[in-house]
Structure 1
């Protein structure tokens, strides 16, 4: 099972969750929202786990934590993955648009200087600006659009730019999202939970809820057996990590 976007450090008991996903043999990308959280979140990786920690600066916090960009740069050489990063065009964050774009550009440029990274990217109400920045920094690495909610036209542009996509059960409740996922290349899709922020049945999503997304994808992919969908997703992950230009990490 794969959860390619979870905030392990933001659960009430992160250590317990980390132990459980390790016991289940799950692959989890544990994204951070600030550079200062990266070391502490990295410490959740217990021996034998398949948890990987991503170095991030969330766009919703850009105006509060832009001073941590030097810290981001200091940690980047040791980070195999970058996330959560991106832009947020929701009305409450529009006043901070300029600093969001400055932070995002800085991060993308830093990724270019270290040879590229696998990046988990937030693009709520900002799909076109995010794609503009991805196009402007082609050497930043491999973009994984987390919970993509743009238009079909924006989706086709993202596909042409080589983007990947991570989708979760909370996202797949929406018919619009289901229609978008049907158009995504199957060989560039991974599952996620976005826990604890995403809600499932009124409760915070857990990493293992990503398994629900596998079942939902199997249905969207023509009713294929869930086992075959799971194999495809794991093959995607192996290929993503293999093509990682840093040459780091393993699935």
Structure 2
């Protein structure tokens, strides 16, 4: 199973969460919200090659942590994956929009200069602006839109731009999420948990809950779960062979 967007360092016991992922032989992309969190998060999974740690600066705290862009630049040569990055347009964070845009643009510039990275992107109520940034920086790498919630028109544009998508049980619990997934190219879909932020049955999602996303994709795609699992593993191989 694949969890392409989880916040391992933010679980109550990050070491236990990492050990369980290793025991279950999960492939996990462990994202970070600040550059200063990267080293400690990467240390959680030393010797676990199936768990990779991404270097991020989350848009919701871009206004507080923009000074860490220098550290981001310093660490970027050490990573293949970047995230969580992006923009957030909900009212609570929209007032910090100029800082969000400056941080996002700078990260895209740095990724371009570094030769491109595989990027996991936050785009809540900001899809068009995120896609505009990707269009302006086409060599920043391969974008993976996590928990995509834009419009059908924005989805078409994202597909045309070469974006990938990571979808989880929380996204797939609603009709809008399911309808969006039906329009996504199957060869560019991966699963995610977004734990511990995402909720399942009133509790925090765990990386191994991606099995629920596999089951829902099997229903939507009219394929048996084992065929969906094979498709997702092929997708991951394709992304890591060609992206970033």
TM-score, normalised to structure 2's length? 0.99
Counterpart of 1:120 in structure 2 is 120
Cα distance in 2 for partners of 1:49, 1:17 equals 16
Q: Deviations over 1:145-179 (max 9, x none)?
A: 00000000000000000000000001101101100
1:8-87 alignment, distance < 5 Å:
8-87=8-87
Q: Distance in 2 between matches of 1:49 and 1:113?
A: 26
Give the structure 2 partner of residue 220 of structure 1: 220
Mapping 1:133-212, distance limit 5 Å: 133-212=133-212
Per-residue CA distance 1:203-249 (angstroms, 9 max, x = gap): 00000001110111111112x1000000000000000000034xxxx
Unaligned runs of 5+ in 1: 246-251
Q: Give 5+ residue unaligned stretches, structure 2.
A: none
Q: What SS class does the counterpart of residue 54 from structure 2 fall into?
A: strand
Give 3-state SS (helix, strand or coil) of 1:89's partner: coil
Query: Tell me, what secondary structure is at the counterpart of 1:93?
Result: helix
How far the C-alpha of 1:49 sits from its partner, in A, is 4.3
SS at match of 2:125: coil
Q: Partner residue of 1:240?
A: 239
Count of aligned pairs between the two proteins: 244
Alpha-carbon distance in structure 1 between the residues aligned to 2:117 and 2:218: 29
Q: Secondary structure at the match of 1:83?
A: strand
Aligned-residue CA RMSD in angstroms?
0.7
Task: Please state how far the C-alpha of 1:46 moved relative to its aligned partner.
Answer: 3.6
Match of 1:248 in 2: none
SS in structure 2 of the partner of residue 12 of structure 1:
coil
Q: What is the TM-score of this pair, normalised by structure 1?
A: 0.96
CA distance in 1, matches of 2:49, 2:78: 18
